[in-house]
Amino acid sequence: MQGKINSEQAEIAVSAAATAYESVYPDMYYKMQPFIVSACDQMDRYEYSAPTRVGIQQTSDRLYTEMCKIYPEFTYYAGANAQRFGGRGLFNTFLDILLLNELFGRRRY
């Protein structure tokens, strides 16, 4: 399926981003960002309306599954504090925020 990221592409993107920004952000951000950009590229191509809460959550759930295949350590972060953040966990909430930030940075609503 077009738009999916494999582990080699993810590692290259992480290395390039870390070099470009001199590791200003935590390593987790650099690991997540290629997935987020790819998902937003797909949303820009196929969706013409503003994203809904359900759509963002479905996208972040799909990204979480893809990311955990490449970065199994993410499962630890996703399980922590799940009940305190609407049952989705802090990791998924953070992923939602990053998705919205990327989308709103590209579009004007």
pLDDT string in tens for the chain (109-residue length): 456 777 777 777 766 665 655 667 788 888 999 999 999 988 888 876 778 889 888 998 899 889 989 998 888 776 655 555 566 677 888 889 999 999 888 866 5
With H, G, I as helix, E, B as strand and everything else as coil, classify residue 51: coil
End-to-end CA separation in angstroms for the chain: 29
For the chain, the structural domain boundaries read 7-106
Contacts of 25 (CB under 8 A, 6+ apart): none
Whole-structure pTM value: 0.70
The rounded radius of gyration (Å) of the Cα atoms in the chain is 14
User: Assign residue 96 a region: left if phi > 0, alpha if psi is -120 to 50, beta otherwise?
Assistant: alpha
Query: Are the C-beta atoms of 14 and 31 separated by less than 8 Å?
Result: yes
